[in-house]
Structures are given as C-alpha cells and as structure tokens.
Amino acid sequence: MDSDPIGSFFLHKPIVLNSFPEDTNHPKWKHSPHNNMDSIARAKYTIPFQVNFSCSPNDRDSSPPPHHSRTEMDFFSDDNNNNNNKKEDKGSTSASDHRHSATLPTLEFEVNTGLNLLTTNTSSDQSMVDDETSPNSEDKRAKDEVKIDRYLAVVQAELERMKRENQTLRDSLDQINANYNALHMHFMSLMQQQKAAEVEEQEVLGGKLEGNKGESAGVLVPRQFMDLGLATNADTDEPSSSSGGRSQDRSASPSAEVASKEVGTSKNGNVNDEGDDGEDNPSGGHAHAGDKVPRLSPSKNNVDQAEATMRKARVSVRARSEAPMITDGCQWRKYGQKMAKGNPCPRAYYRCTMATACPVRKQVQRCAEDRTILVTTYEGNHNHPLPPAAVAMAQTTSSAAKMLLSGSMSSADGLMNANFLARTLLPCSSSMATISASAPFPTVTLDLTQSPNPLQFPRHPNQLQIPLQGVPQNFANSPASFMPQIFGQALYNQSKFSGLQTSHDADPSQFGNNSQQLPSHVTDTVSAAIAADPNFTAALAAAITSIIDGAQQRNNSNNTNNNGNMTASTSNGNTSNAKQ
DNA sequence: CGTGTTTGACCTGCGC
DNA sequence: GCGCAGGTCAAACACG
C-alpha cells in the first residue's frame, strides 16, 4: 500500500506523480526533444495544477489547457475521454450507494485524475517516442487500459473496504450512544428515587437538623451522599472548623464564603442555618477572606462543636507525570513548601490565582514509593469560571468533596456511600469506588496511575469504573485497571490548554467553540443533568462528557489523521461549570 | 516593576 | 506542658 500508487490517491498524492520519476528517468525522456517534459516533471511538485489542468475531462474539452500540457493532452484525447467515461461510470456507481456521497465523488475525481494523468503521461511517453520510432502504440494503449482497469479494481476494493470500515465505525458509535442513553436514563431515574428518599428522610429528621446537627449529619449520611444542599452546607462550614486552627482562619473563611455563594447558586436552599454560618463568623459576621476568625471560640454552639470535629474534605489525584506539577487548567501560585514526614520529596503548596479570593488550594507531592507518581490534592471550590480543561477536574473534586463531607462523619458511611454511589451511577462496573474519611482529612483519591496513556480510552465507554480510593496504601492493589481517564484526559488536555484559560474563563459559551464538540444531544443531556443536580453526579456527567468527547477526538483523529494536537480541545466546556 | 518562587519563621492541633 | 508535624505567612530573591 505504501508503494502502491493507488494508496497514494487517498493520501492525495496522485499516482501520476509517483510515476513520473520512472518516466522522467527513462532514457527516452531524457533524450526527448520535448521541452515540456521538464514542466511535467516539475509538475509533480505542483499537485493542484495537475489536478486542475489535466484531470478533468471537462476542462480538457472545454477550455484550452496551459500550453505546457496541451500537447500531451491532445495527443490521446479520444482515449482519455473514453477512459474517463469508463472510470466515471464505475466511479459513479460505486459512489452512488455510499453513505458519504458528498466526499466520495471527490475521491472518484481524484482517482480519475491520477489515472488520466498516468494514461496521458504514458501515452505521451509513447507518443513522443512512437512518433519517431514505434508503430505499436495500439498495444501500448491496450496495456495501459489493462493497467487502468487493474488500478480501478484496486481502488474499488479499497472503497469497499472503507465503506465497511465506515459502517463498522457507525455501528460502534450507535452502540455507544445507545449505551450512554441507557446509562443516563438509569442514572436519572436513580437520582429521582434518591431525592424522594431524601425528602422523606428530611421530613422525619428535620427537627434534629436544628437541634443536633452533628448527630443528624451522622444519621443522614447514608442517604444524603448526593444531597448537595446538606453537603454544601457541610462543606461551607467544615473548612472553617477543619484542621489547623490557623488554616481555619485564613483559608476556611474564604472557603466558607465561596461555598456559601455556591450554595446560593445550587439547586436547593439550605436546609439548616449553616448557609448563614458560612458568612456568620463568631465575631459577628464579617466574612472577609483576610479575616482571621477564631473558629472554635467558646461562643460556638453545639453545631459548631460538631463541625469542629468535621474535617476539610479533599480530593487527591494520583497521576504519573515527570513534570513538577500537573497542569490542570488553573493557575496556581506556590506559597509554601514543606518536607512531609515519611516522604523524602517535599510537599508544595499552591493557591489558585485565577481569581483574587479563590479559596482552592492544592498540594503537590511525589509518591515516596514511586516518584514518577505525582499526588495532587485539591481542597476547596473555585469561585470563578473555569476553562474547559479544568471543568471536569474542578467539578469532580469539589463535588466529590461535597459528597464526602456529606458523609464524612463516618468513614464506614463514606465507604458505603461511595460504593452505593458507584453502583448507582455505574451499574456496569464491578469495581466499587472507595472513599475514605480517614484521618487527617476525608479524602477522595483518584488513581490515574493504572492507565497513564490518555490515548487509550476505554474500549467500552459506557462502562465506567472510577477507582475512588481513600486509603493510599490500597493503591497497589487497586482495581483501577481501567480508569476511564476522565481526569487523565483532562490532565493531559489541560497541559495543552492552559494557555487559553485566562481568556476563556469568563465566557463559558466560548468553550463550545472548540474544534471538538459533543453531539448536541449528548451535551444537552449532560448539561441538563448538571443543571439539575450540581453534585457529584454532575461531575460524573462531566466525566462522561469528557470520555465521549475524547472518543470523538480519537475518531476524528483517526479519520483525519492529520491533527496531532487532539488534546487542544477538551470538551464539555459549555456545561455550566460555575454552578455546582 | 510586577509576578512568581524560595525559605525561614510562625501558628495551631494533636499525641504523649 | 512539651514536642512534633502540618499548614501558612511574608520577606527576600529571581526572572522577564
């Protein structure tokens, strides 16, 4: 195929051109008195002219071709026309039943082009010589026709093969779409059931929410893992009462502020009064990012004390990377570095700088066991629009954190919730997500190290497995053998997209202008899901979007075979990421 | 000069 | 109460 001139048709390298060297090297050519040989030989580097001037029979019939080719073209005009007619007939029949009727005629045109030129050139070769020496031009012509027929057969066989391949791809795409729709419907129905159960539960336990929040939180955990209202509230308050007392003062206040804003944008109102607590600092309610508010002041009530026991949820992503930091679509500023115990690699602390008061921070540290693994731990929620490259990651991290916080009072509950979540959302998967609320912080760990190659998308995109692992030491035995590369893709894409993020983050609509877009029905359904329930499931929806998008990118890449920068466009940016 | 990084100091929670 | 570890600050420094 590589040396097959027919193959070169599909690469838009007309076979004529490949045949030229032979002709031009021929002694007859070299000694030919015709000066236009040089022009023809040169013409192999000017493909468009070959196509335009000599390929079209119409051109040949109607308008006089350029002088340099006129001589040759006129030589066997009859034969050329005949051949053209033959080939056009065959080409038309083969193209008529093809699905892509819009593209195949062009292909046929290309085929005719090459063959005509070949015929012409060969004939020209013959003619120029025959005029002087050989009288058996008829035989040569017959041989040429046999050659042409052979080429045509090859071309048509190739066309058939491409048609079959195209059909296979279409079938695969249909299957993927069908599976996705089924999964989506299943997901939505389960979401509705879950909401109904939550409503019932809240009606029963509503009083407890007021009086004893911590206790109620523990009770509600198993059924509220998707309730972002509570989850967000928990998130709103937990950061303020989390880990370091200092950190509460500085980082938690903005977190609370942001979280409260996000709560306002989320679907449901606050079940409890904690939405205000996010703003209500014990000192009297000045919730400025710079304020250092003692979280555990004695004036706190039981709710605050209960919250004091809660910890800041985090989402940790493990990925193989040689880079010092994974580019995840956001801009970060390093504000500290410490040597952590038990790890010779220092831990770097970063703060999101895409917005002035963005509370999101992340820690980056290499794994002690395998230093090729970069562990990035995210904390907090962005309070600004995100570039598409960061949407999937941000949604998932924040939503996973919310989900985790909703059940963070008990690691067992968290695990149960995670497993139930995984079963709910990923019915096809056998590997359950595990989310740990273990010390020091409730953490969701996404292990991407099992599938480092972003180009290897899941063979069955409808089957998702998310190895959410809370216990790092379980990574080695992780069933995360086929993480759908939600984040892997995002991470790799983000590294390419980071240069665009600042200019696009303010206008999510622009995200959809990427070269790779989802089918409208996919984006609609995913967007609807996200809009309806801005929680962890939304993140999964975004993940599904990313996967489908990635699959599309691969298909496009395979079809076009010319765009190596398939990662330049990621995705699902047109989903409302700011509201989660 | 603005921005980002480095690094020592500081603060806090937690365990003993 | 003390020490340790995690987390953060902010001055100094580097860089474009």
pLDDT value at residue A184: 65
Q: Is A368 within 8 Å of A345 (Cβ atoms)?
A: yes
Q: Is the CA virtual torsion A481, A487, A490, A495 positive or negative? A: negative
Burial of A203 from C-beta contacts in 10 A (0-12 / 13-18 / 19+): exposed
- Cβ of residue A292 lies below 7 Å from strand C: no
DSSP string, A460-484: STT-----EES-GGGSTT--GGG--
Which nucleotides of chain C have an atom under 7 angstroms from any protein CB?
A: 4-10
Buried b (16+ CB within 10 A) or exposed e, A256-276: bbbbbebbeebeeebbbebbe
Residues forming a β-bridge with A436: A443
- Cβ of residue A336 lies below 7 Å from strand C: yes
Which nucleotide across the nucleic acid strands is nearest to A243, CA versus C1'?
B13
Q: A244 CA, C6 C1': separation in Å?
A: 8
pLDDT value at residue A149: 87
First-to-last alpha carbon distance for chain A, in angstroms, is 52
Q: Is the CA virtual torsion A369, A469, A351, A328 positive or negative? A: positive
User: Which residue pairs from A169-175 have beta carbons closer than 8 angstroms and sit at least 24 positions apart in sequence?
Assistant: A169/A555, A170/A99, A173/A555
Q: A562 CA, B2 C1': separation in Å?
A: 41
pLDDT value at residue A143: 86
pLDDT, tens only, A311-357: 467 788 888 877 777 777 788 889 889 888 888 888 899 988 888 77
Q: A288 CA, B9 C1': separation in Å?
A: 25
Which residues are in reach of strand B, CB within 7 A? A 243-246, 249, 295-296, 331-338, 348, 353
pLDDT value at residue A317: 83
pLDDT value at residue A167: 84
Which nucleotide across the nucleic acid strands is nearest to A332, CA versus C1'?
B4
- A373-379: strand order across its sheet: A332-339, A346-352, A361-366, A373-379, A314-320, A443-447, A468-469
Q: In whole angstroms, give the CA distance from residue A110 to residue A118.
A: 12
Q: In whole angstroms, give the CA distance from residue A475 to residue A470.
A: 9
Which nucleotides of chain B have an atom under 7 angstroms from any protein CB?
A: 4-9, 11-13
What 3-state class would DSSP assign to A170? helix
What 3-state class would DSSP assign to A380? coil
Q: Can you read off the two tokens belonging to residue A328? A: 């995840």
pLDDT value at residue A534: 40
Segments of chain A scoring below 70 in pLDDT: 1-135, 177, 181-182, 184-186, 188-189, 192-312, 392-393, 395-441, 450-580
Residues 358-377 of A with CB under 7 A from strand C: 361, 363
Within 8 A by CB and 6+ apart from A477, the residues are none
Q: In whole angstroms, give the CA distance from residue A277 to residue A72.
A: 88
Q: A245 CA, B13 C1': separation in Å?
A: 7
Half-sphere exposure of A356 (CA within 13 A, CB side): 3
DSSP string, A35-48: THHHHHHHHTT-HH
Cα A429 to Cα A243, A365, A465, distances in angstroms: 35, 30, 5
Buried b (16+ CB within 10 A) or exposed e, A284-313: eeebebeeebebeeeebeebbebbbebbbb
Q: A397 CA, B11 C1': separation in Å?
A: 28
pLDDT value at residue A397: 65
Q: A318 CA, C8 C1': separation in Å?
A: 24
Please give the biggest Cα pair distance in chain A: 113
Q: Can you read off the two tokens belonging to residue A277? A: 């607590």
What 3-state class would DSSP assign to A363? strand
Q: Can you read off the two tokens belonging to residue A262? A: 């996000």
Cα A272 to Cα A199, A268, A288, distances in angstroms: 14, 11, 22
pLDDT, tens only, A235-260: 333 333 333 333 333 333 333 333 33
- Cβ of residue A286 lies below 7 Å from strand C: no
Q: Is A262 within 8 Å of A381 (Cβ atoms)?
A: yes
Q: In whole angstroms, give the CA distance from residue A94 to residue A88.
A: 10
pLDDT value at residue A39: 38
Find out whether the peptide bond into A440 is cis, omega within 30 degrees of 0.
Answer: yes
Which residue reads 């009297």 in tokens? Answer: A284
DSSP string, A398-440: HHHHHHHHHTTT-HHHHHHHHHHHHHHH-TT--SPP--B--SS
